[in-house]
Amino acid sequence: MSLPQPVIEFLNNNAATLGVPQVAVDLDLFKSGALDSFALVDFVTVLEEHCGIRVPDAEVVPANFRTIEDIDRYVSSRRLEL
Amino acid sequence: MNSFITATGSYLPARVVSNEELAQKLGLTPEQIFKSSGIRQRHWAAPGEITSALGCAALRKAGVSTEDIDYLILGTMTSDRFIPGSAPAVQAALNLREVPCLDIRQACCNTLYGLQLANALVTSGLATNVAVCLAEVQSTFLTVSPQAGTTSMLFGDGAAALIVSSEGEVGALEIVDVHLATDGKYVDDLGIRAPGSQFNGRAEPQDYVPRMNGQSVILQASRRMLSACQTVLDRNSLSIDNVSWIVPHQANANLLTQLARGLKLKDVSRVVSVIENTGNTSSASMAIALDTLWRSGTLRPGDYVLMPGFAAGFTWGAALCRVW
């Protein structure tokens, strides 16, 4: 897992705000209510700031960010393209 | 040559439909509607009150002599009839001269497209006073049932008019820049399919009513409006701190909040919002908000006004104006 701590903290804090106590790496963030569409927009900004990647607008789709494992895979793929 | 918005007007039908009146029919509570949209009420046209009639009312409110208008652009998704569009109906009803009349159908970005076209017509010398009229009667297209609750709760009827002229006096809004962009692969995430040649003869009832992938709209609108603002600011060597007022398309109050956060606005009161009382009036929403700002008396010479929008297509963009 290569996601920086501020990224994980954002997810945990957002989930706690929405009443989801624990974010496991394979938890479906949308189905569990840990992340909604508006929060995802903010989350992508956090990812860009802390992972040194640029997320193209067309790639801001739930499939890329459904679980922490998905997010980690996506970030790694974006880094390879840099 | 420059172009200026020299007059504005808006019109909302008399009938107010509150969340309390609508919620139960949509399988929602008034609080659910307000929490997810920021809307408390919307105006719906009376039976027989058609789109061109709303457009005429808004143009009258702009207070310009109909004799002076030499081009009419009408933006709507809900034209009086399929062909011709509603601009000829407005021309006839207001007894305008026999000027060019053009319908545009870029949905919630109609104000931006109308301004870009009007700016081009005026600065090229093809027209002197362009009336950009934005009008919607969406209520008759809505399915008022729980199956369409989260879509039907959003939309209201209304109209606005902007007069774009070659000469502007003190207080006019100079059109500094308009940026527009499109990505057509999202065609089914927002819009109405039929009538249309792709579905003729095999359209289903649901093809005639609005369809919306809310998640896709929120994700793309949040990002695209922000990037459009940045594009316009960058190419005019400005920062968001130079902008006095943000007048976005009034889609959803939560989206306006997201936009303010993305723009890192220090003062969110600079975002003009009318959605609480109007709902989403699509083509007309941005211009109704601009008319509200114009009439508030708070605009000062030198103020920059930034207007981002997002619409079916998807298409999106932003206009930048400066008070003369």
Predicted confidence (pLDDT) per residue in B187-245, tens digit: 999 999 998 999 988 999 889 888 889 889 999 999 999 999 999 999 999 999 999 99
Chain B interface includes A37 (CB < 8 A): yes
DSSP B260-292: HHHTT-S-GGGB---HHHH-B-GGGHHHHHHHH
Average pLDDT of B42-51? Answer: 97
B261 interfaces chain A, CB cutoff of 8 Å: yes
Mean pLDDT over each residue of chain B, to the nearest integer = 96
- A41, A58, A61 member nearest B258 (Cβ): A41
| Residue from B269, B271, B273, B264 nearest B241 by CA | B264
Q: pLDDT-based confidence at B248, cuts 50/70/90?
A: very high
First to last CA, chain A: 19
Tell whether B258 is within 8 A of chain A (Cβ). yes
Question: Mutate which of B218, B229, B252, B310 to test chain A, going by most A C-beta atoms within 10 A?
Answer: B218
What's the pLDDT band for B2 if we cut at 50, 70, 90? very high
Q: Which residues of B291-301 are buried (b: 16+ CB within 10 A; e: fewer)?
A: bbbbeeeebee
B170 phi-psi bin (left φ>0, alpha ψ -120 to 50, beta other): beta
- CA-based nearest distance A57→chain B, Å: 6
What would the pLDDT profile of A23-74 be if each residue is shown by its tens digit?
899 999 999 988 988 899 999 999 999 999 999 988 999 999 999 999 999 9
pLDDT at B241: 96
Polymer length of chain B = 324
Asked if the Cβ–Cβ distance from A37 to B215 is below 8 Å, we say yes
**Average confidence (pLDDT) over B104-126:** 98
A60, closest residue in chain B (CA to CA): B219
| The residue count for chain A | 82
Indicate whether B115 pLDDT > 70: yes
Contact status, residue B121 vs residue B70, Cβ threshold 8 Å: no
- Catalytically annotated residues of B: 108, 249, 280
Strand B173-182 versus strand B315-323 pairing type: antiparallel
B215/A58 CB distance under 8 A: no
Helix (H, G, I), strand (E, B) or coil at B220: helix
CB within 8 Å: B254 and A38: yes
Structure tokens at B67: 């004799």
Structure tokens at A37: 């569409």
Mean pLDDT within B44-69: 97
CB contact (8 A) between residue A60 and residue B261: no
Do B319 and B289 contact (CB within 8 A), yes or no? no
Q: Select from B214, B224, B258 the Cβ nearest to the Cβ of A57.
A: B224
Contact list, A61 vs chain B (CB under 8 Å): 216, 219
Q: What is the pLDDT of residue A1?
A: 65
Do the beta carbons of residue B106 and residue B315 sit within 8 Å? yes
Q: How far is A29 from chain B (nearest CA, A)?
A: 14
pLDDT band at B158, cuts 50/70/90? very high
3-state DSSP helix/strand/coil % of chain B, to nearest 5: 40, 25, 35
Q: Collapsing DSSP states into helix, strand and coil, what is residue B71?
A: strand
The pLDDT score that the predictor gives to residue B278 is 98
pLDDT recorded at residue A20: 86
Q: What is the mean pLDDT of residues B31-39?
A: 96
Name the band, by pLDDT with cuts 50, 70 and 90, for residue B26.
very high
Q: Which residue has the tokens 């479906």?
A: A28
Q: Which helix (H) or strand (E) holds B95?
A: none
| Angstroms from B236 CA to nearest CA on chain A | 23
Residue with tokens 């970030």: A75
Residues of chain B contacting residue A45, judged by C-beta atoms under 8 Å apart:
262
pLDDT tier for residue A8 given thresholds of 50, 70 and 90: very high
The most confident of A54-63, B147-156, B303-312, by mean pLDDT: B303-312
Say yes or no for a CB contact (<8 Å) between B218 and A61: no
User: Using CB atoms and an 8 Å cut-off, which of residues 45-74 of chain A contact chain B?
Assistant: 45, 57-58, 60-62
Contacts 24+ apart (CB under 8 A), B212-215: B212/B151, B213/B188, B213/B189, B214/A37, B214/B150, B215/A37, B215/A62
Cross-chain Cβ contact A42/B261 below 8 Å: yes
Q: How many CB atoms lie within 10 A of CB A81?
A: 7
A31-40, B21-30, B111-120, B266-275: range with lowest mean pLDDT: A31-40
**Of B313, B310, B285, B308, the residue nearest B189 (C-alpha):** B313
This model's pTM is above 0.90 = yes
Measured at the alpha carbon of residue B1, what is the angle toward residues B270 and B290, in degrees to the nearest 5? Answer: 25
Q: Which pair of tokens denotes residue A64?
A: 């890329």
- Per-residue pLDDT, B214: 87
CB contacts, 8 Å: A57 with chain B: 220, 223-224, 227
Cα A67 to chain centroid distance, Å, stands at 7
The H or E element containing residue A37 is: helix A37-51
Cβ of B218 within 8 Å of Cβ of A42? The answer is no
Q: What is the pLDDT of residue A18?
A: 84
pLDDT at A80 over 80: no
Q: At how many degrees (to 10) do helices B214-235 and B253-262 cross?
A: 40
pLDDT over 90 (residue B287): yes
- B chain contacts of residue A38, beta-carbon cutoff 8 Å: 218, 222, 254-255, 258
Q: Would you state the pLDDT for residue A2?
A: 78
Which residues from chain A sit within 8 angstroms of residue B216, using beta carbons? Answer: 61
CA distance A54 to chain B (A): 12
Residues whose CB falls within 8 Å of the CB of residue B83, separated by 6 or more in sequence, listed in order: none
Across the beta sheet with B173-182, what order do the strands follow? B101-104, B71-75, B129-136, B158-165, B4-11, B173-182, B315-323, B304-311, B243-246
